[in-house]
Amino acid sequence: MIGVQKVRQYDVTPKDIRRFAQAIGEDHPVHFDEDYAKNTTYGTLIAPPLFCQMFTFEDVPATQLPSDGSPVEIDVPVPAQRTVGGGSAYEIFQRVRTGDTITVKSTLKDVFTKEGRSGRLYFIVVETEFTNQKNELVARETATYIKRL
* Inter-residue contact 80 to 122 (CB < 8 Å): yes
Element (H or E) spanning 102, and its range? strand 101-116
- Residues 59 and 146: their CA atoms lie apart, in Å, by 21
- In the prediction, which pLDDT does 118 show? 84
- Residues 82 and 145: their CA atoms lie apart, in Å, by 10
* Inter-residue contact 35 to 102 (CB < 8 Å): no
- In the prediction, which pLDDT does 48 show? 97
- In the prediction, which pLDDT does 53 show? 92
- In the prediction, which pLDDT does 134 show? 97
- Residues 14 and 34: their CA atoms lie apart, in Å, by 8
Tally of domains within the chain: 1
Measured between alpha carbons, how far is residue 25 from residues 21, 22, 48, 95 in Å?
A: 6, 5, 10, 18
Please report, for the domain that includes residue 101, its CATH number: 3.10.129.10
Task: Note down the domain range covering 58.
Answer: 5-148
In tens digits, what is the pLDDT along the chain, a chain of 149 residues?
A: 788 888 999 999 999 999 999 999 999 999 999 999 999 999 999 999 999 999 998 888 888 888 888 888 888 888 888 899 999 999 999 999 999 999 999 999 999 999 988 889 999 999 999 999 999 999 999 999 999 98
pTM (predicted TM-score): 0.89
